Amino acid sequence: MNELRKWASEQKGIMAALLGLSVLMGAVIVGQAYFLVNVVDRVFLQNQSFGAVVPMLGFLFGLMVIRAGITYANARLGVNMASKVKQRVRSILLQKWTQNPIQTAIQGQSGGKVTVMMEAVDGIDSYYREYMPQVMKASIVPLIVLAAVSYTHIWSGLIMMVTAPFIPLFYIIIGIKTQKKSEEQLDKLAAFSGQFLDTLQGLQTLKLFGRAGRQRDVIQKSSLGFREATMDILKIAFTSTLMLEFISTLSIGLIALEIGLRLVVFDSISFVSAFFVLVLAPEYYTALKELGAAFHTGRGSLGAAEKIKAELAADEQPVKWGDREVPARPSVELKNVHFQYGEGFSLKNVDVHIPSCARTAIVGATGSGKTTLLNVAAGLFDPQEGDVFIDGRPRASFSESSWFREVSYISQHPYLFSGTIEENIRLGAPGHPARAEVEAAAEKAGLTELIRELEDGLDTKVGESGRGLSGGEKQRVALARAFLKKPSFVLFDEPTTGLDLKTEQILQRSINELAQTASVMTVAHRLHTIQQADVIFLMNNGEVEAAGTHMELMKSSESYRAMVQGGAAG
Amino acid sequence: MKRLVSIMMEEKRDIWLSVLFGVLAGLTSVALFGLSGFMISKSVLQPPLYIITIMTALLKLFGAAKAGSRYAERYVSHRATFTILSNLRVSFYEKLEPLAPQIFGKYRSGDLLARIVGDVETLQNFFLRVFYPPLVLVIVFLSTIFFTLFYSVWIALVLLGGLVLTGFVIPGLLALQQRKVKQGVRERRAGLSTEVTELLYGFRDLKLHQKLDEKEEKLLQIADAYVQEQEKESVQAAASQSLNAAAALSVAFVVLALGAYFVTIGELNGLFLAMLVMISLTIFDNAVPMAVFPAHLEDTRQAAGRLFSVVDEEPPAPKMGMIERDDAFSIELKDVTFRYPGETRPALQNVSISIPAGSKTAIVGPSGSGKSTVMQLLLNMYTVNAGTILLDGNSMGEIQAENIWSKTNVVLQENHFFYGTVRDNLKIAGDGLTDREMEDTLRLVELPFSLDDPVLEKAENLSGGEKQRLAIARVLLKRAPVWLLDEPSSSLDVLTEKRIFGHLHEAAQKDTLVLISHRLTGLEKMDQIVVMERGNVVEAGTFNELMERKEYFYEMKQIEKNVLA
Ligand SMILES: Nc1ncnc2c1ncn2[C@@H]1O[C@H](COP(=O)(O)OP(=O)(O)OP(=O)(O)O)[C@@H](O)[C@H]1O
Ligand SMILES: Nc1ncnc2c1ncn2[C@@H]1O[C@H](COP(=O)(O)OP(=O)(O)OP(=O)(O)O)[C@@H](O)[C@H]1O
Ligand SMILES: [Mg+2]
Ligand SMILES: [Mg+2]
């Protein structure tokens, strides 16, 4: 409850308004019963004329209108509060997600996270929309009703007092169970969403392996699991309502019996008092029952809040940054860097120096840690030991935004966003470069021919629900991002995979051009693309095995020679 | 809507039960309150004690019956609803599945997710609030009105008027108003879900390009708009409910005033006044929720529309043909022309390729020349616009797609891996694979993994080459007689690639193999090399033939020689 309370705490005004409305509501309920009973009494027992009750009827009508008004105002305040909190929680979640380091961001299933953002946040809605107003109402209205009844007829009041505590007690027991179940329900939904999204992405793979049909069963199981979890919660809710109905019916029956006996046998109570008590008794129990129902939803929201809390608490070790501005064309140096993925693969004792405007290359067998090294150099990971220096100062003293302003990193599997080709190329550059610059960047990436052939040219929609591109075309759109930005430190992770030799040559030329004003660090399997590099680092199992120019390495490194010859030989 | 009703009718029994229990609950509750009003009036007249006792007993009985039937109604109606929803989700997936991969050209994954989760969830209101409650309401009302007829025709008429007002007139007016303010909750919700999904999927690139803040800003705007729509909806619902509640109270008020008047002029026995007032107060409890009926109707109509529109396309007619043989078969493309749906430019133009059973073919050509498209067509993922494709002499148009898939080993240019473990990702290759077999294959492709190692979403924790090798391991385990490999080794270093190709060729010795490749080395061994450019086959032949022709392939080889020198 703490979180939910905290999120609401800024809404003191609304709370006060709710309190005022509840008191008014109690008064209206009592007044309504009073006039109702008196009208019946006067025409039924006192045989008064209709004209005599008209003013009373007038008051009664007024109160009824006020009652409807209060109900509306109450609902409206709750809705207001819920909206504010939901907006706030979504922004906290988003902030957390956008600040997560890569290593945290890739954990878990996206579908599950979407569920937290959508369903869990919507799930806390009822806490503010129903629970809070209802609690306020239910803790005040019964008190006023009770006071009115006790004043009229103390014995009925006593019965109410004695039976009332059963109701909240009962709810506390049930509420605890509800919370657990609703967490379970959200888990099930998150699992379903995660599964669905993952299946969607891999549908072609599933089909090819003849598993699409079987995946249906998995989805069905997941969906049924969600149904069961939902029904479990509802069962608790329904059972508790049933029990409450019983308790309140029993209590109302008890009151009716007591009053009836007094009226008939002892004649010790007037009709007006008796009818008054009888009209108010259900109001009293209804308010308590509503509290019960609200308590149930409140507990459900608590389950949702727990899920959000868990997402917010996901541990993170952000890359450390400072606030110094990164100078233009910085040199970058990794000194004695050690980096390990959890318990898994590690980079060991890596020393790499990249002078300003130098061309460096990283080669090595698959899985030897090339991409990992690039990630450390690009500022996506912080080394666990050793340090990264920018222009001779520790990276931690520079600001993240100024660093990334100078850097372009085209990763091994770039992502194309749903949008036009132009928008995707623009992703790379800050500000709003002219269209001509985008065209120039596309040309450097060897995309001119494709763009010319496309009906909408640069404005062709690509990405998730746009036009599909071939593997090499996607790669080139991503590379164009770097050509548009013209940064002073560029990292390419296998820029020419999936490209034919001719296109590769175009790109090679563009990269050479870029390299005149920037340090370029390239990971490559095709060794001919990096022979001009000033330094080539040969990675082996997380370590830099050898470093030097192509010529030097040909002489000194057996494994480098083997790789080069392997590439050339037929 | 019709679709929805027919899906719902599958739970017929539960629907009738819900109506039954709903009516029972409504009537007992009316009886309970009416009786209590009557009892109190009666008591004043000093009746014998046993009458009071009987009435109290009846009160308890009605109370218990009311609680019990309300419970039963809720339980049954919700059970039916959630069963329907669960079926709906599964059938949505079933309908979606044959439409992939084309469907992804139209909808984004986050949007589809929003539909299968959010829109389906909304549909619960269709049954719970739109479908059967009006029926219950009418039955309860008519019975009650019939009962009051015995006491006062006028009061019965007032109740009838109240029913028409709260159950039909006010909801109808609200419905008219609702039409005007178009409800945007559904769309906003889908929008938010879509953008969040994209944020998560494209996180790395957004971070690298420092666009996270921008995206966050945009997302927040969408989220706020969504909340505002929800707020609008809730406020409207609250207003409608309060309006209807006020109307209901007014009716009770009129009953009281009219009753009081009749009592004073002696038309009605004062004994029944309290009872009638209590009845009219209670009965409208059922009518007040009718105020949100139009909102729910409209909402579920939209949700159903969104849901079914995705899968509305007719699934292709089932095909019966099979490839009879179990070993390698031949593949032939004859004059195939193909345009991607919605494109004007053909991706393939008059492409003819002949691949004999058991032969090894390489397809080379610049990026975007249509190599992967050929493969998609061979797998029957799309249908050709002109020309024919023959598999083992049978026309593609007649062969079951599942049959083709079961007989091919496919490595796509981009392979998907599922969230789970290495084992989860390997075992889809076949039934009854032993751990031993899987481990041996992992060793063969030089992956040091154990079967229980985790694979994160999209295999984010594997290196590029590891992903490709895992995909190769998967097809090595599948052992189908035809191999279709789309640049299976583009992220491998040459030495590893060579060893892995050795294993592949060994495994595919007797099989038909089609390899798409950019690297021109090692093609001497292939039986045939097909060179593609801009959607056309420009050359085909053995390595030596092409080298002698000194045309396209020869030129590419020359470039290669230059760069490697
Ligand atoms: N996020 C991660 N969590 C855990 N392990 C990882 C993660 N990313 C990579 N690894 C592991 O680290 C090792 C090195 O991966 P890396 O991506 O750096 O290799 P690489 O040299 O780029 O290989 P390739 O040439 O195949 O792309 C691999 O064994 C990989 O499984
Ligand atoms: N889903 C799609 N919708 C529309 N056009 C597409 C789609 N997929 C590919 N294309 C277009 O069809 C042409 C051929 O694409 P294909 O993927 O077959 O090329 P490819 O030869 O495999 O190229 P690469 O070597 O880059 O993978 C390209 O111009 C591409 O943009
Ligand atoms: Mg890599
Ligand atoms: Mg391709």
**pLDDT value at residue A255:** 85
Residue A424 touches chain B, beta carbons under 8 Å: no
Longest dimension (CA), chain A: 122
CATH number, domain of B556, equals: 3.40.50.300
Instruction: Name the token pair of A225.
Output: 């699991």
Residue A287, domain member (yes or no): no
Which tens digit of pLDDT belongs to each residue from B62-74?
888 988 998 999 8
Is residue A350 in some structural domain?
A: yes
Phi then psi dihedrals of residue A342, to 5 deg = 50, -115
Does residue A172 belong to any structural domain of this protein? yes
Half-sphere exposure for B388 (CA within 13 Å, toward CB): 10
Q: How much is the pLDDT for B55?
A: 83
Q: Which domain holds residue B291?
A: 2-311
Regarding whether A531 and A475 lie in a shared domain, the answer is no
Count of H-run helices and E-run strands, chain A: 21, 12
Pocket of ligand 1 (CB under 6 A): A 341, 344-345, 364, 366-372, 412; B 460-466, 491
Residue A199 belongs to what domain range? 154-268
Q: What is the pLDDT of residues A25-53, one digit of tens each?
A: 999 999 988 888 888 888 777 877 777 88
Same domain as A178, residue A75: no
Count: domains in chain A = 4
Selected residues 300-339 of chain B with any CB under 8 Å from a CB in chain A:
none
Give yes or no for a contact between A331 and A406, defined as CB atoms under 8 angstroms apart: no
Final residue in a domain of this structure, among A317, A348, A377: A317
3-state secondary structure of B74: helix
In-domain check, residue B387: yes
Task: Answer with the one of A486, A508, A542 that is the final residue of a domain.
Answer: A486
Which three-class secondary structure state does DSSP give residue A266?
helix
Residue-wise pLDDT tens digits, B504-528: 989 988 899 999 988 888 888 899 9
One domain for residues B518 and B377: yes
Q: What b-and-e string marks burial along A402-434, b requiring 16 or more CB atoms within 10 Å of the CB?
A: bbbbbbbbbbbbbbbbbbbbbbbbbbbbeeebe
Could you tell me the two tokens for A147?
Answer: 């006071």
pLDDT score of A10: 66
Query: Residue A108 carries which DSSP code?
Result: S
Query: Within an 8 Å CB–CB cutoff, is residue B433 touching chain A?
Result: no
Same domain, A437 and A510: no
Rounded Cα gap, residues A326 and A390, in angstroms: 8
pTM as predicted: 0.88
Tokens of B425: 């990702």
A110 and A41 fall within a common domain: yes
Confidence of residue A440 (pLDDT cuts 50, 70, 90): very high
Average pLDDT, integer, range B123-150:
86
Task: For residues A257 and A342, state if they share a domain.
Answer: no
A412 domain residue, yes or no: no
B243 and B378 co-located in one domain: no
Alpha carbons B183 and B233: distance in angstroms, whole number: 8
* CB-CB contact of A515 with A533 (8 Å): no
HSE at residue A410, side-chain half, CA atoms within 13 A, is 34
Cβ of A207 within 8 Å of Cβ of B367? The answer is no
- Whole-number Å distance between alpha carbons of A153 and A145: 12
Q: Is residue A539 assigned to a domain?
A: yes
Interface contact A76, partner B, CB < 8 A = yes
> Mean pLDDT across the stretch A204-224?
86
Place of tokens 């390595």: B543
Distance, in Å, from the CA atom of A275 to the CA atom of A256, rounded to the nearest integer, reads: 10
Residue B161: CA atoms inside 13 Å, Cβ hemisphere, count?
Answer: 12
Rounded CA-CA distance B28/B63 in Å is: 7
A267 in the Ramachandran plot: left (φ > 0), alpha (ψ -120 to 50) or beta?
left
Nearest-CA neighbor of B113 among A419, A195, A462, A461?
A195
Name the residue type at position A427.
L
Average pLDDT over residues B558-565: 75
Q: SS3 for A272? A: helix
Token readout for A458 is 């640069």
Last residue of a domain, one of B311, B345, B364: B311
φ/ψ of residue B103, rounded to 5: -60, -30
For a substitution probing ligand 2, which of B372, B515, B530, B533 has the most ligand atoms within 8 Å of its CB?
B372
Task: State the CB neighbour count (10 A cutoff) for residue A338.
Answer: 15
Q: What is the mean pLDDT of residues A494-506?
A: 84
The pLDDT of residue B182 is: 55
Atom 14 in ligand 1: residue holding the nearest Cα: A369
Residue B403 belongs to some domain of the structure: yes
Which is nearest to A272 in space by CA: A154, A153, A157, A160? A153
Mean pLDDT of B131-135: 86
A-B C-beta contacts closer than 8 Å: 468
Contact in structure between A451 and A421 (CB atoms under 8 Å): yes
**Domain match, A226 and A123 both:** no
Q: Does a cis peptide bond (omega within 30 degrees of 0) precede residue A487? A: no
B526: left (phi over 0), alpha (psi -120 to 50) or beta: beta
Distance CA B453, CA B456 (A): 10
CA distances from A104 to A306, A322, A380, B213 (A): 19, 21, 11, 18
DSSP state letters, B387-450? EEEEETTEEGGGB-HHHHHHTEEEE-SS----SEEHHHHHHTT-TT--HHHHHHHHHHTT----
**Do the beta carbons of residue B119 and residue B89 sit within 8 Å?**
no
Please list every residue in chain B whose beta carbon sits closer than 8 Å to the beta carbon of residue A122: 230
Identify whether residues A235 and A182 lie together within a single domain.
Answer: yes
Q: Tell me whether residues B67 and A249 touch, CB distance under 8 A.
A: yes
Q: How many residues does chain B have?
A: 565
| Shortest CA distance from B543: residue in chain A | A570
- What are the Cα distances from residue A420, in Å, to A90, A451, A461, A465? 28, 11, 4, 11
The mean of the pLDDT values for chain B is 86
pLDDT digits (tens, 9 = 90+) for A49-88: 777 888 888 888 898 889 888 888 988 888 888 898 899 8
Cα→Cα distances A68→A39, A77, A382, B70, B250, Å: 21, 14, 61, 25, 10
What are the backbone dihedrals phi and psi of residue B530, each rounded to the nearest 5 degrees, phi first?
A: -110, 125
Confidence category of residue A370, pLDDT binned at 50, 70, 90: very high
Q: Is residue B469 a contact partner of residue B500, using CB atoms and an 8 Å limit?
A: yes
Contact B361, B523 (CB under 8 A): no
Query: What stretches of A436-534 adopt beta strand conformation (E)?
Result: 461-462, 489-493, 519-523
B412 and B536, same structural domain? yes
CB–CB of A178/A236 below 8 Å? yes
If asked whether residues A58 and A170 sit together in one domain, one would say no
A47: left (phi over 0), alpha (psi -120 to 50) or beta: left
Q: Hey, is the C-beta of A532 within 8 angstroms of any chain B C-beta?
A: no
- CA dihedral of B34, B37, B41, B44, whole degrees rounded to 10: 130
pLDDT in tens, B486-509: 999 888 888 888 899 899 989 988
> Is B138 in the same domain as B249?
yes
Query: From CA B14, how far away is CA A529, in angstroms rounded?
Result: 70
At residue B332, the pLDDT reads 92
Residues A396 and A520 in one domain: yes
How many CB atoms within 10 Å of residue A87? 18
Whether the CB of B466 is below 8 Å from some CB of chain A: the reply is: yes
Asked if residue B480 lies in contact with residue B433, where contact means CB atoms within 8 angstroms, the answer is no
- Please indicate, yes or no, if residue A279 is contained in any of the structural domains: no
Contacts of residue A284, defined as CB under 8 A and 6 or more positions apart, other chains included, come to A142, A145, A146, A149, A160, A164
Same domain for A524 and A482? no
Question: Is residue B253 scored above 90 in pLDDT?
Answer: no
Residues A337-359: what's their mean pLDDT? 90
Structural contact between residues B340 and B386, judged by C-beta atoms closer than 8 angstroms? no
3-state secondary structure of B224: helix
Q: Are B219 and B192 in contact (CB under 8 A)?
A: yes
Protein residue with least CA distance to atom 6, ligand 1:
B461
Distance CA(B45)–CA(A267), nearest Å, equals 11
**Residue A570, pLDDT above cutoff 50:** no
Residues A516-544: tens digit of each pLDDT: 889 999 998 877 778 888 999 999 999 99
Q: Is residue A36 assigned to a domain?
A: yes
Query: Is residue A266 pLDDT above 80, yes or no?
Result: no
- Which amino acid makes up residue A538? L
CB atoms within 10 A of CB B108: 21
Q: Are residues B304 and B415 in the same domain?
A: no
Kindly give the distance from the C-alpha atom of residue A413 to the centroid of ligand 1, in angstroms, as a whole number.
Answer: 13
Atom of ligand 2 nearest to the CA of B371: 21
pLDDT for A404 beyond 60: yes
Strand-strand pairing, B394-395 and B482-486: unpaired
DSSP state of A417: P
Q: Does residue B539 share a domain with residue B410? A: yes
When divided into structural domains, chain B yields a total of: 2
Distance CA A276, CA B113 (A): 55
Q: State the amino acid at position A548 in one-letter form.
A: G
Where is the domain boundary, A449, A469, A486? Answer: A486
Any CB–CB contact under 8 A between B204 and chain A?
yes
Mark whether A510 and A378 lie in a shared domain.
Answer: yes
d(CA A361, CA A57): 92
* Cα separation, B438 vs B426, whole angstroms: 7
What is the domain-level CATH number for residue B269?
1.20.1560.10
Compare CB distances from B94 to A193, A216, A264 and report the shortest one's residue.
A216
**Which pLDDT score is estimated for B564?**
67
Q: Does any domain span residue A534?
A: yes
Decide if B318 is inside a domain. no
The token duo for B499 is 């060893």
pLDDT of residue B439: 92
pLDDT band (50, 70, 90) for residue A489 = very high
CATH of the domain at A373: 3.40.50.300
Same domain, yes or no: A44 and A81: yes
Domain presence at residue B324: no
Answer yes or no: are the C-beta atoms of B356 and B330 closer than 8 Å: yes
